[in-house]
């Protein structure tokens, strides 16, 4: 009977792995490793099987061998970081996760595992930055949304927590933890809303005696001659509101998003120089200020449109 080669053995191991026969898959990969000890693919498969068998020491060894034999394989660095997370080797996890992200910026799982490290190290702000980057890359990553919900709950930012709990529950509808977090958050939102004060007797009397405005009639016929004094400024205000909306969108796309991404990168790598972090913060603050100004101008423009529209419908 001819001796099986490495490729055949790897195929058999993958078949065993797919069938849930993890120990059988490990033994087959070990045979392949005996034929080719410097194969990064064999080490990667063996590391994966060991991880599934909860043999974390062996998994870390073989993932580390992959990073040595194939230094540009981002998945090996990130998986090694995930194993270090499970082994409570948090300081060892950070550099290998960063290396994996550096090789492939599109690896959401790299940022996700970095978020786990930072949260366990008691650095919630860095954890939030990492998780936010993970959901930016993969908006359907339910676990990252759930962890963001937890972090925002701890910071008593219930509105943001609600957003991420809902997203986690939407992505995984039968996930009890997400549903529980969502219910808790909704209760905190209701509790944090101040109760409306009871109206004073004078206010009640004034409301009863105040003349009632005529109801709006959207179907009324507009007379161009009669309503010209309102139509012209209404048109101008509508055009202005449209321009303000476009300006706000432009700021969001061209200033806010790049500033957030740059600041996120600085915060994810604490060894960056303080000057670099300071520059990113200044850029972020300037973008936020520009956005707030644009929002205020848009609000004013919309209020003018609303006021003129009401006058036209009642006139």
Q: Is 103 exposed, middle or buried (0-12, 13-18, 19+ CB in 10 A)?
A: middle
> CB-hemisphere CA count at 13 Å for 16?
20
SS3 218: coil
pLDDT at 196: 59
Q: At what angle do helices 40-52 and 6-18 cross, to 10 degrees?
A: 20
pLDDT at 178: 94
| Homologous superfamily assigned to 139-192 | Tetratricopeptide repeat domain (1.25.40.10)
Give the chain's residues under pLDDT 70: 1-3, 194-231, 234-235, 257, 259-281, 284-285, 312-315
Calculate the dihedral angle through the C-alpha atoms of 169, 173, 174, 176, rounding to the nearest 10 degrees.
10
Supply angle C-alpha 302, 252, 137, rounded to 5: 135
């Amino acid at each position: 009977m001819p001796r099986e080669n490495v490729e055949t053995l790897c195929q058999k191991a993958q078949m065993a792995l797919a069938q849930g026969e993890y120990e059988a898959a490990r033994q087959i990969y070990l045979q392949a490793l005996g034929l080719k000890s410097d194969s990064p693919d064999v080490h990667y498969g063996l590391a994966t099987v060991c991880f599934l068998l909860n043999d974390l020491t062996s998994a870390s060894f073989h993932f580390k061998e992959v990073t040595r034999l194939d230094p540009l394989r981002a998945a090996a660095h990130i998986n090694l970081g995930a194993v270090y997370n499970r082994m409570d080797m948090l300081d060892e996890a950070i550099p290998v996760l960063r290396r994996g992200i550096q090789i492939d910026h599109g690896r959401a799982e790299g940022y996700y595992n970095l978020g786990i490290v930072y949260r366990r190290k008691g650095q919630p702000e860095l954890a939030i930055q990492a998780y936010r980057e993970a959901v930016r890359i993969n908006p359907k990553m339910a676990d990252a949304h759930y962890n963001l919900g937890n972090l925002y709950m701890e910071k008593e930012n219930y509105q943001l927590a609600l957003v991420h709990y809902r997203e986690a529950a939407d992505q995984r509808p039968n996930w009890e933890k997400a549903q529980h977090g969502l219910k808790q958050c909704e209760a905190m939102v209701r509790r944090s809303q101040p109760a409306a004060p009871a109206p004073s007797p004078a206010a009640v009397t004034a409301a009863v005696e105040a003349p009632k405005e005529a109801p709006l009639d959207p179907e009324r016929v507009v007379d161009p001659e009669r309503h010209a004094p309102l139509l012209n400024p209404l048109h101008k205000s509508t055009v202005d509101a449209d321009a303000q909306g476009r300006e706000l969108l432009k700021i969001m796309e061209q200033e806010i998003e790049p500033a957030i991404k740059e600041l996120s990168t600085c915060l994810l790598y604490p060894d960056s120089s303080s000057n670099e972090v300071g520059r990113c913060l200044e850029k972020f603050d300037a973008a936020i200020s520009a956005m707030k100004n644009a929002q205020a101008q848009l609000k004013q423009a919309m209020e003018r449109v609303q006021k003129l529209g009401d006058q036209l419908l009642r006139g």
